[in-house]
Amino acid sequence: MPQVTWADLKDSIAQREREAELFSTPSENEEFNPYWDPADVELLLYEISCQLLREIPPEELEAIGSTAITVATYSNGAVLPSNTVKVLGAAIQRNVGDSLWVPAVPVDPAMYYQMADVTSDDAAFYSFVSGTVVFSGNAIGLTLLTEPTLANFQADLPILPPAGYDEIRVDWVHKALMTEDFIPGGRL
């Protein structure tokens, strides 16, 4: 699926702000030049991109094979990646060698301790304690939404669906810049 490149997104923001010159010349000591640095603008674009990942329906991410979705098998008490922001799906293998993976139900941590002596044959639940995943059974397959790095976006990996969301991102950065981008009369 074709997508707008990261560099083009940054350019369109610069044009909208009429700050195109900012991207080629330093802004220091120019009274009426906006003070936004291209690196700061890029960080805002990165921030909203990660936020959109959390907001949009996961189905849209599946459709493009988003690299922000990782699927992995964990053992009981395994540490989750620190950039995990959501769990999109879980299935539990109750016993070693089982070919059946049972859809698993998330429970809150207190409920996990209440159910910890329920055998895995009778339940398929999981929870999170202290940065780890805990569950009943032998193994759990988790579909995780993880935060990509800035370099992932810069490399134009398929992360966000292109249709629609590019405009939202440009708008959001514009909104953030507009809020702050005034000539501060008291400070010149």
Residues in contact with other proteins by CB under 8 A are 27-28, 30-37, 40, 43, 47, 50-51, 54-55, 80, 82-87, 106, 108-110, 113-114, 116-117, 127-131, 146-147, 175-176, 179-180, 182-184, 186-188
10-19: long-range contacts, CB 8 A cutoff, minimum separation 24: 10/38, 10/41, 10/42, 10/45, 12/170, 13/41, 13/45, 13/170, 13/173, 13/174, 13/177, 14/38, 14/41, 16/170, 16/174, 17/174, 17/177, 17/181
Q: Which is nearer to other proteins, 97 or 184 (CB)?
A: 184
Q: Give me the phi and psi of 96, to 5 degrees please.
A: -55, 130
Cross-strand partners of 93: 101, 139
Q: Considering the complex, what minimum distance in angstroms separates the CB of residue 74 from other proteins?
A: 13
Q: Which is nearer to other proteins, 9 or 48 (CB)?
A: 48
Q: Which is nearer to other proteins, 85 or 157 (CB)?
A: 85
Q: Which is nearer to other proteins, 8 or 108 (CB)?
A: 108
Q: Considering the complex, what minimum distance in angstroms separates the CB of residue 185 from other proteins?
A: 8
Q: Considering the complex, what minimum distance in angstroms separates the CB of residue 131 from other proteins?
A: 5
* CB proximity list for 103: less than 8 A, separation 6 or greater: 90, 91, 124
Q: Considering the complex, what minimum distance in angstroms separates the CB of residue 84 from other proteins?
A: 6
